[in-house]
Amino acid sequence: MEVIVIGSGTAVPSLRRGSPALGIQAGETFLLLDMGPGTLRAMLHYGLDFNQIDVVGLSHHHPDHVADLVAFLFASRYRLGYTRQEPVQLVAAQGFREFHDRLRGVWGEWVEPPAGLLVVREMATDRADRFERNDVTIKTAPVQHLASSLAFRVEQGGRALVYSGDTDWSDSLIELSRGADLLILEAANPWKVSGHLTPAEAGRLAALAGVPRVLLTHFYPPCDDVDLVAACRQEFPGEIIVAEDGLRLLV
- 235-to-133, 164, 197, 199, 203 alpha-carbon distances in Å: 36, 18, 13, 9, 5
Distance CA 51, CA 86 (A): 10
208 neighbors 223 (Cβ within 8 angstroms): no
Task: Report the domain count for the chain.
Answer: 1
Q: What is the mean pLDDT of the chain?
A: 97
C-alpha span between 70 and 187 (Å, rounded): 27
**What pLDDT shows up at residue 81?**
87
Task: Please answer whether residues 122 and 92 qualify as being in contact, where contact means their C-beta atoms are separated by less than 8 angstroms.
Answer: yes
pLDDT at site 216: 98
Give pLDDT tens digits for 116-163.
999 999 999 999 999 999 999 999 999 999 999 999 999 999 999 999
Domain containing 71 — which CATH number?
A: 3.60.15.10
> How many Cβ atoms are within 10 Å of 226's Cβ, its own excluded?
14
Compute the CA torsion angle 177, 89, 6, 141 (nearest 10 deg): -20
* Residue-level pLDDT at 80: 84
44-97 pLDDT, tens digit each? 999 999 999 999 999 999 999 999 999 999 999 988 889 999 999 999 999 999
pLDDT at 35: 98
Provide the residue range defining the domain that includes 223.
2-250
User: What is the pTM for the complete model shown?
Assistant: 0.96
Per-residue pLDDT, averaged over 206-210, amounts to: 98
| Alpha-carbon separation of residue 166 from 28, 56, 74, 219 (angstroms) | 27, 16, 26, 11
- Quick one: pLDDT at residue 9? 98
